[in-house]
Structure formats: C-alpha cells, structure tokens
Amino acid sequence: MPRPPRPPPWARTPAPRAWTSPTRRPWPPGSPSWRPRGGRRTSSSRTRASSCSGRTPPAADLELDVWRRTLDVNLTGTFLTVKHAVRSMLPRGGGAIILTGSPTAVNGEGRDFTAYSASKAAIHGLGRTVAAAYADRGIRVNTVQPAYTETPLVAAITDDPQARAAIVGRIPIGRAGTPDDVAGIMVYLASDDGAFATGAVFQVDGGMTSL
C-alpha cells in the first residue's frame, strides 16, 4: 500500500495556544487580543488594523478611489476591529480598546492630508461613541494621539529630508516620535491602572497640537 502524502508545512505547524485568563476561559487563537495586567482582553487598532497614511492632493484634485481606500483601511478597518472586539468582550465582562488617532484629526496639519485627516477625525468620534455605549458593560475605549512617528509606513516622508523637516519643525519637542513614545500610555490604558479612563483622547504628540 502506498504511503499517504506528507502534509504541507502549514499543516504540520502546531496550532497557536490560546491565552487563558484568571477565570480559565481561553481567548480564541488568532483573536485581536494580548495580555494586560489583570487578565482582561485588550484590542488595539494600532496592531490589528492596517493603517493608510501619506499625503494626498487637496479635495478638488483628490481621486475618489484614493479617498475610498484611505477610509476603507483607516476607518472601516478600525470599525470592524472595534465591532468584533466588543462582541467578544461582552460575554467576558469587559475589556479595553485602544484606538490610534492623529494630530491631523484636530488641526488638519496642512493641505496634504485630506483623506487621512478625515479618517482620523472619524476615529476620534468613533472612540467616544463606542465608549459611551459600552461603559456600563465594562468596556473602555480610548484613543491615543501620537505625533508624526517614524515607522516603515511613513518611509516616503522619512526619506524626503525636506518633507521630514517640515513636519518635525511643527513638533515643539523638536524630534519625530517613535513607537516607544506611545507604548507606555497604551500599556497604562490596557491595564487595571487605567480602569477609570474611557472616552478620552490622550495626546502624546510632543506638543504638536498645542501650536
């Protein structure tokens, strides 16, 4: 009898382990969650929803497909993350959701962020309304607003000295942000230390929106 075919590599890889909370109820493998102190589930659009950033033409010259793609990725992606996070948190008694905002949601940051600014302003509003809707059911929703943060996503700006200087020049602290600059506030909001914080926007932008 011929031997059965060898399964492909992906079939031989052990399934991811679910993390079990102190109440011994596992989070589903692959779910948008991580382990904060105290065992409650946390979802962050920063890591679970793709983000679409970059400069676009002013409104009169902005192509509709660029507008739609930016809102699909930034806003609809965030909405879907929040929707399913809330659904999974409700039976477990609550949790914390952290959204990523932007100074462009507050002051526009110039003429070149039409679609991006609109998407981020909507995320700020989404965070407030979801926070109000589920606060009495143990779900907290906050938005962290970083400044221009240098990651591979903004390489087009980072690699353009003139564009980078123009943005960094609007940050009073005098430098671009890094992921580590916002990690602390996100850990705080995800932890039991942030249990009384919901519906707020936390500005960690080097003073960018103070100008």
Burial tier of 136 (Cβ tally within 10 Å: 0-12, 13-18, 19+): exposed
- What DSSP string describes 5-27? PPPPHHHHSPPPPPPBPTT--BP
Helix axes 114-134, 77-89, angle to 10 degrees: 10
Positions marked active-site: 116
To 5 degrees, how large is the angle CA 5–CA 9–CA 15? Answer: 115
Q: What is the DSSP letter of 173?
A: T
Best CA proximity match to 51, nearest among 89, 88, 125, 102 = 102
- Tokens representing 157? 């700006």
Residue 152: what residue type?
Answer: P
